[in-house]
Chains A and B, each alone.
Chain A
Amino acid sequence: GNSVTQMEGPVTLSEEAFLTINCTYTATGYPSLFWYVQYPGEGLQLLLKATKADDKGSNKGFEATYRKETTSFHLEKGSVQVSDSAVYFCALTAYGNNRLAFGKGNQVVVIP
């Protein structure tokens, strides 16, 4: 079946540090890949997406590249701000499937 694995545990880093959150997936066919973000007290919102291999999604300084050979979609940002503190979820949807498979999410805390 389709599944997404995110690195374990919260991520705590200082302002202006480099952020990486790992995401790997298992899927049949050619899935679309997503990163969603959940700010405190809010629902999830789409951060970026990629629909085919080698596509790079980007938004608000965040980037992720769809790597079919390593089945990965790692999220990166070069210089984080306190306002980036949130929970980040990796997700995928596969051909003909009405569902998203979510990873368990990573809490990111950015310290001034």
Chain B
Amino acid sequence: DVKVTQSSRYLVKRTGEKVFLECVQDMDHENMFWYRQDPGLGLRLIYFSYDVKMKEKGDIPEGYSVSREKKERFSLILESASTNQTSMYLCASAVVGGQGGTDTQYFGPGTRLTVL
């Protein structure tokens, strides 16, 4: 079974703090993703990575950065946390699909971040 783990289930931080969210997958997937999930807005893609050290902006990258130094690990960084970044953060990984696009995404359990 594919396993995607996230470093914390719940996290509470203060405004202005630097926050690291870690994600690790154990299936040698090329693609990894960070989403945030908010009520009424569904999932929104923050960043994704299709290879080590490669990244692309998603729909809402402002206020976030990412790091992928190893294939199995994809980190999301909030340089200076703000209250509007309070959300559920979901990490996912996927192989490259048969049509050259991403195939089934496997999700971690999520990190519920609260910024006070």
- Which A residues fall within an 8 A CB radius of B? 30, 32, 34, 36, 41-46, 49, 51, 89, 93-100, 102-105
Closest to B109 in A: A43
Question: Is the beta-carbon distance between B110 and A104 smaller than 8 angstroms?
Answer: no
- Which B residues fall within an 8 A CB radius of A? 4, 31, 33, 40-43, 45, 48, 50, 56, 58, 90, 92, 96-110
Question: Is the beta-carbon distance between B42 and A89 smaller than 8 angstroms?
Answer: yes
CB<8 Å pairs between A and B, sample of 19:
A32-B99, A34-B104, A36-B107, A43-B4, A43-B107, A45-B106, A46-B104, A49-B104, A51-B99, A93-B102, A94-B101, A95-B100, A95-B101, A97-B101, A97-B102, A98-B48, A99-B102, A100-B45, A102-B42
In the bound complex, residues from chain A placing their C-beta under 8 Å from that of B100 are 95-96
Question: Is the beta-carbon distance between B90 and A43 smaller than 8 angstroms?
Answer: yes
Question: Is the beta-carbon distance between A43 and B110 smaller than 8 angstroms?
Answer: yes
Distance in Å from the Cβ of A42 to the closest Cβ of chain B?
Answer: 6
Among A30, A94, A105, contact of B42 (Cβ-Cβ < 8 Å): A105
Query: When chains A and B are docked, how far (Å) is the Cα of A36 from the Cα of B45?
Result: 16
Q: Which 5 A-B pairs have the closest CB atoms?
A: A43-B107, A104-B42, A44-B107, A97-B101, A95-B99
If A43-B90, A44-B92, A46-B105 are given as contacts, then 19 extra A-B residue pairs at C-beta distance below 8 Å, sorted by A number, are A32-B101, A34-B104, A41-B109, A43-B92, A43-B108, A45-B107, A46-B106, A93-B103, A94-B101, A95-B101, A96-B100, A98-B48, A98-B50, A98-B96, A98-B102, A99-B58, A100-B33, A103-B42, A105-B43
